[in-house]
Structure 1
Amino acid sequence: MLTMRPLDERGAWAAKSKKEYDLDENGERIRLPSGRYKTHKVDLTGWNDKGNALLWRKAWADISNAYLERAGHPERIDYRSNAERGIDELPTVHMGVAACQMEKKGIATEKGELNRNIRKANRLIREIRAQIGKLKEWIGELFKARETAPEQPPQSPGLANLLMKYLSVQREKSRKYSQSWQRQHAADELKTVAKAVNYLSEHGISTLAELDAALSSVSDQADAIREGMKTAEKRMKELQKLIEYGKNYTEYKPIHDELKKLKNGWTSKRDKYEEAHRAELTLWNAASRYLHANLPKGTKTLPISEWEKEYATLSGQRTAEYTKLKETRAEVAELHNIRKCVDIALKADQPEQTRAKRHDLER
C-alpha cells in the first residue's frame, strides 16, 4: 500500500502529479468551449507504472522469502503469474474485500462461485493428467520390456486375450474360498471384464499400441476442453467487471450529475453534498475510469443486459465443458481398470514363460 502523496527529502508532502496546459502550434494555450483551457495530467511518481509494480512485487517476495528461510519455514512466495511459472491452470479471479467479507459470513457471491468452479475444474484436470501420465508410463515400460525380452518378438499383445487371461487368473485365485463367494466374485469380475471389452470394442482398441494411441487422444481431448474453458473463464471475468462497473456507473450517475450542477469551487453546499455522497462518488469515479479504458471510444449506452446474457451463456457452456471433463475422467478411470486387469494377466504369464524356458533347457 502507498500513501496518497509522496514525501520529499524534508518529510513534507509532495505532489503525486501535476497539471500542464496543452499548447497549440503557436505555443498558446488551447481554450475549450466551456471557457477553460485544455490540460493533461503529468505523473511525478511512476506509481502507476506496471513495470514498477513488478519490481515492487519481486522485492516484496525476495524480502518475505528471506525472512521465511530465516524462520525455518519451507513456504516460499512467488510473485509471478501462473503463465510465467509454467503452471497451465485456469486462473481464479480477484475477489475483492466486499466479496471476501460476504463469503466469510456464508453468503455466496458470483465471484466466489466462479472461483469454486475454476478450482473444481483445475482439480479434475490435474487428476486426468496424472492418471494419463501413469498409464502412458506403464505402456512405455511394457513396450520396453517386450523389446528387450530375447524369447519373444517385440509385438503388441492382444488386449482381449489378456483380459480373458485375467479372468482365468482371478477364477483360479478364488478356488480357495467358498462356493457362494466364488460365484459372487466371478460375477463381479465378469462385469469388470465385460465393461472393459465393451469399451475396447466401442473405441476400436485391440492392442497395447492402440491403447497408447487412445490415451493420447483422450489427453488431447482434455487439453482441448481445458483451452475452451480457459477462454470462457477469461471472458467471464471481463464480463463480471463490466457488469459490476456498469451497474455502479448507472446507479450513481445521478449523484455525480447533481454534483456537477452545483457551483464550482469550494462552496459550502458543494462540499457538504460531496462529503455526504463520498462513497457513491468514489464508486462512480472508479466505474467511469474502468469503462472509459475498456470500452470502445464513443460508447453511449452500456449494454448491461447483453453482457448479462453473454455471461449466462458462457456459464452454461462452462457447465457443459465441466461435464465433458467428468466424462473424460470416467474414460480415464476405465482405462486404468483395463491396465489393472492387463497387469495381472501379464504377471501371471511370467511364471509360465519361466517354467517353459526351464523345461526347454532341461531337455
Structure 2
Amino acid sequence: MADSFHFSVNIISRGKGKSAVASAAYISGEKIKNEWDGVTHDYTRKEKVLVKNIILPDHIPKEFNDRSTLWNKVEMAEKNSNAQLARQFIIGLPKELSLSENKNLVERFIKENLTSQGMIVDYAIHDESQDKNGNIHCHIMTIMRPINEKGEFLAKSKKEYILDEKGEKVLNKNGKPKTRKVELTTWNDKGNVEKWRENFSDLCNEYLAKNKIEKRVDHRSFKRQNSDYLPTIHLGSAASAMERKGIETDKGNYNREIRKYNQLVKTIKEEIKTLKGWIGNLLDNLTTAYEKFKDIERDKVIDNPKLFNLINYLLTYSEIQKEKSKYLKGYAKTNKEKYDFKKLTSAYSYLRKNNIETIGQLQTKIESLKSNSYRLNKKAKTIHKEMEDVEKKILYYEIYKAKKGVYEEYQKKNIFTKDAFYNENKKDIDQYKVVSGKLKKLLSDKEKLSPKKWNEEKSLLMANLEEINKEKDKIKDEYQEINHIKYSVDFVNKELGIDLSIEIDKLIKQGEKPSVIAQIKKFQDQVIKDNEYREMMKNKKMDQER
C-alpha cells in the first residue's frame, strides 16, 4: 500500500485577517512592509528556510521577481476588506530525496501545473526538524488575479445575462435580469485540487523510482485507499510550537503512537508477504504430483511430519551451525555460538508452545496471526475516528466558549441596534453560529457540553491505542520468529541438497519414508562420527606430548 502525504490548499483572505505580504515574509524568512496597512512583517530570524524562489510565466514583467514588489502590488490591487489575496499550498516532501531532488520536484510541479496557466508562484522549502530532514515541506503562494504583459491586474470573472431558449433575458421576481458569474480563468475550478494532488503524487513516484527508492506515495487519503494505515491528527500552531521546543503535548504523543502503529502495520505486512510467498512456493511443489494422484488428500501431505518436521529441521540447522563455528576462533566463535543457541531455543520454544510440527500447522498459525492483526486494524480505525471526533468537540467548544458572550449580547440587542452590533462583531457571531452547528452534529442526543469528560475519553482512547500497539508488537515478534524457522528450513534444504518436489512425489506415489529424514539422519550420524574422530585425535596428540 502506498503512503499518503500532506497536501493542503487554502485561500489567504483579508476577510479572515490574513495578509499576502505577511505570508510571503513568513515563507521566505524575510522582512517586508505591507503598503496596504503599513505593518512590517519580520521573519528574518527564522532558520528553517532551505530554498526560496519566485517563478514567473514568460509574459510577466521581471519587476515581479522582487518579493516585496509582487505581494504589495497584489495587496494594493484588491480594494475589498474581504478580498481573496493569494492561494497557498503546503505540501509534505519525501525525506528520502536530497534537497536538490526535492527542489527539482517542486519546481517541475509548479511549471507543469501553475506557471503554465499564467500564475506567478512564490515558493519556499522548509524543514523544522533539528536534523534538517525530518519535516521537510514546501510552501507555495500563487496569485488569484491574472496579470497581462504590462503588469496590469485583470478581472477574475465577469457577469453575463441568463437567457432563455429564445435568447431573451430571464427576469427574477423583482423584474430585473438574472445574471451569473463566469470565471475568466480555470484557476478556481473545483477539480483543481484533486488534479494537483494526483500530479504531485505521480511526480513524487517518478523521482523516488529514478533514485532507486522503494517507497511510493498515493494522492488519495488512507481512507480512500482502504488502507490499514492511520493518518496523524492536526497539531495546530500552539502544539506545534511546544513540540519544536521539545515539550510533549497530548496531540504530539497521540501522533507518535499513530506512527508507531503504522510502522508495526508496515512491518507485519512485509513479514506476511515473505512468509506467504515461501509457503506458497513449498505448496506449489505439490501441484504436479497431486494432480496425478487426486485420491490422496492434500492435507495428508502438507501435514505429514515425516516430510515437513519443522523441529527436526531446526535441530539439523543448529548442528550445521555448530560445525561452521568450529572454524572460528575467540570472540567470533563465542559470539556466534551464543547467537545460534539463543535463536534455536527461541524458535524451538515457539514451535512447542504453539504445538506446531508441520508446514500445514505453521500455515494455520500464520492465518491466525493475519486474522488477529486485521481485527486490531479495525479496532484502531474505530479508536482513531473517535479520537478525531473528541478533538473536534474540544476545539469547537473552545471557540464556542470564547464567542458565546458576544453572541448572547447580540441576541439582547433591539431592532434598532442589532444590525450595527452585528456589523461590528460579524466574525465572532458567525464563528459562534458555525461551531454551534458543528457541535450539535457531533453530540449524541442527550450528550452535554463536557470538556472534562472529553479529555477523559481522550486519555482512554490513547491508552487503548497503546494497548493495540503492544498486541501488534507481539504479532510482529511472532512473524519474525516464524521467519527464522523459514530461514532454517531453506538453509538445511540447500546445505543437504534436498529437493522437496522429488521427496513429495516419492511420498505420494510409494508411501515410503521420505529420504529427507534419511538425509538428515545421515548428516547427524556423520556429525557424531566427526566429533568422535576429533576427540580421538585430540587424545592421541595429548598422549604423544606426554
Normalised TM-score (structure 2): 0.48
**Offset of 1:140 from its aligned partner?**
1.9
- Structure number with the higher strand fraction is 2
Report if the CA contact (8 A) 1:247-1:304 is conserved.
no
**Offset of 1:166 from its aligned partner?**
0.7
Residue in 2 that maps onto 1:231: 382
Report if the CA contact (8 A) 2:410-2:422 is conserved.
no
**Offset of 1:274 from its aligned partner?**
3.0
Residue in 2 that maps onto 1:134: 274
| Aligned equivalent of 1:317, options 461, 464, 469 | 464
- Residues 1:294 and 2:445 aligned together: no
**Offset of 1:199 from its aligned partner?**
0.7
Report if the CA contact (8 A) 2:314-2:344 is conserved.
yes
**Offset of 1:8 from its aligned partner?**
6.0
Q: Classify 1:301/1:250 alpha carbon distance in 2 versus 1 (closer, same or farther; 3 Å).
A: farther
Report if the CA contact (8 A) 2:399-2:432 is conserved.
yes
Residues 182-193 of structure 1 mapped to structure 2, 5 A cutoff: 182=333, 185-193=336-344
| Aligned equivalent of 2:492, options 324, 345, 349 | 345
**Offset of 1:97 from its aligned partner?**
5.0
**Offset of 1:238 from its aligned partner?**
0.4
Which amino acid in 2 is paired with 1:215? I
Q: Classify 1:229/1:53 alpha carbon distance in 2 versus 1 (closer, same or farther; 3 Å).
A: farther
Which amino acid in 2 is paired with 1:291? L
User: RMSD of the alignment, in Å?
Assistant: 4.1
| Aligned equivalent of 1:92, options 232, 253, 257 | 232
Q: Which range is displaced more, 250-259 or 95-104?
A: 95-104
Residue in 2 that maps onto 1:242: 393
Question: What is the alpha-carbon distance in structure 1 between the residues aligned to residue 241 and residue 331 of structure 2?
Answer: 59
**Offset of 1:310 from its aligned partner?**
2.1
**Offset of 1:175 from its aligned partner?**
2.2
Q: Classify 1:55/1:180 alpha carbon distance in 2 versus 1 (closer, same or farther; 3 Å).
A: closer
Residue in 2 that maps onto 1:215: 366
Q: Classify 1:273/1:106 alpha carbon distance in 2 versus 1 (closer, same or farther; 3 Å).
A: farther
Report if the CA contact (8 A) 1:166-1:344 is conserved.
yes
Report if the CA contact (8 A) 1:245-1:291 is conserved.
yes
| Aligned equivalent of 2:263, options 100, 111, 123 | 123
Residues 1-363 of structure 1 mapped to structure 2, 5 A cutoff: 1=10, 9=158, 55-61=191-197, 79-97=219-237, 99-104=239-244, 106-145=246-285, 155=304, 156-178=307-329, 182=333, 185-264=336-415, 270=421, 274=425, 281=429, 283-296=431-444, 301-350=448-497
**Offset of 1:224 from its aligned partner?**
1.0
Q: Classify 1:286/1:110 alpha carbon distance in 2 versus 1 (closer, same or farther; 3 Å).
A: farther
Report if the CA contact (8 A) 2:399-2:431 is conserved.
yes
Q: Classify 1:172/1:146 alpha carbon distance in 2 versus 1 (closer, same or farther; 3 Å).
A: farther
Could you give the per-residue CA deviations for residues 39-82 of structure 1, whole angstroms, max 9, x where no partner exists?
xxxxx99xxxxxx997343244467679x59xx85699855332
Question: What is the alpha-carbon distance in structure 2 between the residues aligned to residue 80 and residue 184 of structure 1?
Answer: 48
- Structure number with the higher helix fraction is 1
Question: What is the alpha-carbon distance in structure 2 between the residues aligned to residue 211 and residue 139 of structure 1?
Answer: 9
Alignment identity in percent?
A: 26
| Runs of at least 5 residues in structure 1 that lack an aligned partner in the other structure | 12-19, 21-43, 46-51, 357-363
SS at match of 1:9: strand
Question: What is the alpha-carbon distance in structure 1 between the residues aligned to residue 331 and residue 233 of structure 2?
Answer: 56
**Offset of 1:243 from its aligned partner?**
1.9
| Runs of at least 5 residues in structure 2 that lack an aligned partner in the other structure | 1-9, 14-81, 85-155, 161-172, 174-179, 182-187, 210-215, 291-300, 500-514, 520-546
Question: What is the alpha-carbon distance in structure 2 between the residues aligned to residue 266 and residue 294 of structure 1?
Answer: 34
Q: Classify 1:65/1:325 alpha carbon distance in 2 versus 1 (closer, same or farther; 3 Å).
A: closer
Q: Classify 1:201/1:64 alpha carbon distance in 2 versus 1 (closer, same or farther; 3 Å).
A: closer
